[in-house]
């Protein structure tokens, strides 16, 4: 296994942003482009931006550099805005219906929670602190012998994991399941942070894209 980094290594490292440009001097420029093209095809689920973001982004761009073709853009934008007014009106009606249905189901139709792992070395005392957090919710996985705790501030951990294989943690909510990981358990635990912990109704353990265990959450 050589530690020598040739131009190919440097190109890959640059494309992955795994090292700075200064650290990857000598990378073949075309190879970097090729690998960036490869990475552009990695499996990333698309996330539709909130509708109002388009105007926010365009306005921010135009602040930096005014449009030189305002008439064409203006006409299209006006048409688009007219379309949006009609679309938004229709969407409002549809949303009212959806909200009505969700209220019936006791579901607020909220953002899907996302999370990321922040584990260096989780100690038992860290888990104990999470378990003692007022409002913390916990659960036991079935069939795997592992447990999960999620504190109201979003700090969370899956612990008592048997095995050392890298796994992902699935955050189940009304909006679907989002994955955190893969991560290799450290001391049988994976710590993570969730941005909307109150939305998480259950947690899963996923290995190679397959759910292998699930835990419902209950108040401690």
Could you tell me the smallest distance in angstroms from the CB atom of residue 100 to other proteins?
A: 25
The CA distance from 200 to 122, in Å, is: 22
The whole-angstrom separation of Cα 41 and Cα 135 is 41
Distance between CA atoms of residues 103 and 24, nearest Å = 54
Answer yes or no whether residue 84 interacts with other proteins by CB under 8 A: no
Question: In the structure encoding, which two tokens stand for residue 133, read together?
Answer: 């957090």
Tell me phi and psi for residue 196, to 5 degrees.
-135, 70
Closest approach, Cβ 38 to other proteins, in A, equals: 5
**Closer residue to other proteins (CB): 200 or 206:** 206
Cβ atoms within 10 Å of 7's Cβ, excluding its own: 14
Q: Would you say 113 and 192 are in contact if contact means Cβ atoms under 8 Å apart? A: no
Q: Does 22 bind other proteins (CB under 8 A)?
A: no
Site size with other proteins, rule: CB under 8 A:
83
- Which of 37, 87, 95, 109 binds other proteins (CB under 8 A)? It is 37
Q: How far is the CB of 182 from other proteins (least distance, A)?
A: 6
Residues in region 96-115 near other proteins by CB under 8 A: 111-112, 114-115
Does position 160 bind other proteins by CB under 8 A?
no
For residue 141, the SS3 value is coil
Per-position x/- string for 164-193, each x denoting binding to other proteins as judged by CB under 8 A, each - no binding: --x-x-x-----xxxxxxxxx-x---x-xx
């Amino acid at each position: 296994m050589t530690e020598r980094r040739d131009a190919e290594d440097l190109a890959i490292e640059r494309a992955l942003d795994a090292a700075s440009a200064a650290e990857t001097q000598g990378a073949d420029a075309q190879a970097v482009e090729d690998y960036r093209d490869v990475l552009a095809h990695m499996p990333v689920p698309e996330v539709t931006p909130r509708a109002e973001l388009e105007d926010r982004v365009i306005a921010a761009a135009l602040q930096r550099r005014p449009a030189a073709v305002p008439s064409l853009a203006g006409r299209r934008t006006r048409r688009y805005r007219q379309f949006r007014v009609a679309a938004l009106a229709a969407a409002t009606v549809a949303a009212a219906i959806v909200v009505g249905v969700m209220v019936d189901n006791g579901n607020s139709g909220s953002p899907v929670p996302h999370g990321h792992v922040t584990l260096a070395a989780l100690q038992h005392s860290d888990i104990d602190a999470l378990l003692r957090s007022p409002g913390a919710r916990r659960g036991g996985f079935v069939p795997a012998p592992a447990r999960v705790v999620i504190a109201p501030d979003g700090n969370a951990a899956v612990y008592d994991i048997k095995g050392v294989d890298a796994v992902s943690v699935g955050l189940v909510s009304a909006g679907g399941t989002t994955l955190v990981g893969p991560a290799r358990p450290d001391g049988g635990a994976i710590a993570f942070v969730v941005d909307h912990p109150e939305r998480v109704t259950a947690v899963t353990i996923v290995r190679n894209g397959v759910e292998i265990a699930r835990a419902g959450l209950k108040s401690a």
